C-alpha cells in the first residue's frame, strides 16, 4: 500500500487536513510557501502517488511568465536513446513544469513511442537540467507544449523558486 497523507503529515508535524489542502491545492489553504514546498518534497521523497489526488489536472504551483531559451533532447523511454535535439523558448515556468514555444528540432516531429523531453536551461539558470512529459499541446499559430517535470531535485526546485521570486 502507498504512502498516505496522514504519514506525510506525521513526518512533518502537520495536521492531516493541512497536508490534504496543500496536495489538493484547495483555495482556502493558508500555509506558507515554505510549508507547501516541504509537503510536496516529503510526498515525492516518500513515494506518494499523486494520481490519487482529486484535482490532479490542476497545476501544483502557479507558473510565472519568463522568456528563457533552452536546449532540448527528446529521449525515447524504450532505451533507444535520443530521438531528436533542438531548442525552444520557455514562456511559463514553475518548479513543476513549463510551457514551451518556438520549438525548433532537426526532425520537426515527435515520436509515437513514449518519451521524455529533457531541458538544459540557459542563463540565469545555467547547469539546471530537468526532464518532463507532455501534458498539454496546443497548435493555434505555433505549437506549444505544456510539460510536467519529473524527478525534480530539491536543489533544482530551490534554484527555480529563487529565480521566480
Per-residue model confidence as pLDDT tens digits over 35-76: 988 998 999 889 888 776 765 445 556 678 899 999 999 999
- Which residue, chain included where needed, has cell 495536521? 15
158 & 107 share domain: yes
96 & 19 share domain: no
10 & 39 share domain: yes
Q: Mean of the per-residue pLDDT values for the chain?
A: 86
Top-confidence residue, 31 or 25: 31
Q: Assess if residue 59 is contained within a domain.
A: no
Domain residue limits at 38:
5-52
Q: Assess if residue 93 is contained within a domain.
A: yes
30 & 72 share domain: no
pTM equals 0.63
89 & 146 share domain: yes
Q: Assess if residue 73 is contained within a domain.
A: yes
89 & 45 share domain: no
43 & 115 share domain: no
123 & 158 share domain: yes
CATH, residue 22? 1.10.260
pLDDT of amino acid 145? 92
Nearest residue to 128 via CA among 105, 106, 98, 107: 98
29 & 92 share domain: no
Cβ atoms of residues 34 and 88 within 8 Å: no
25 & 102 share domain: no
Number of structural domains (the chain) is 2
154-165: pLDDT as tens digits: 888 888 888 888
68 & 124 share domain: yes
Top-confidence residue, 28 or 24: 24
84 & 129 share domain: yes
CA 74 vs CA 12, 44, 86, 125, 164: distances in Å:
37, 24, 9, 20, 26
Q: Assess if residue 151 is contained within a domain.
A: yes
Amino acid at each position: 500500500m502507498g504512502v498516505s497523507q496522514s504519514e506525510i503529515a506525521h513526518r512533518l508535524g502537520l495536521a492531516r487536513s493541512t497536508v490534504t489542502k496543500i496536495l489538493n491545492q484547495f483555495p482556502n489553504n493558508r500555509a506558507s510557501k515554505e510549508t507547501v514546498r516541504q509537503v510536496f518534497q516529503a510526498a515525492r521523497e516518500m513515494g506518494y502517488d499523486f494520481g490519487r489526488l482529486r484535482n490532479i489536472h490542476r497545476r501544483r504551483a502557479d507558473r510565472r511568465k519568463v522568456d528563457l531559451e533552452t536546449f532540448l533532447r527528446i529521449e525515447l523511454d524504450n532505451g533507444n536513446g535520443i530521438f531528436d535535439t533542438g531548442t525552444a523558448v520557455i514562456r511559463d515556468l514553475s518548479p513543476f513544469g513549463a510551457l514551451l514555444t518556438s520549438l525548433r528540432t532537426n526532425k520537426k516531429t515527435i515520436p509515437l513511442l513514449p518519451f521524455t523531453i529533457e531541458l538544459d536551461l540557459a542563463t540565469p539558470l545555467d547547469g539546471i537540467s530537468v526532464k518532463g512529459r507532455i501534458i498539454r499541446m496546443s497548435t493555434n499559430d505555433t505549437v506549444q507544449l505544456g510539460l510536467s517535470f519529473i524527478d525534480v531535485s530539491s536543489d533544482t526546485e530551490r534554484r527555480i523558486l529563487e529565480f521566480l521570486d
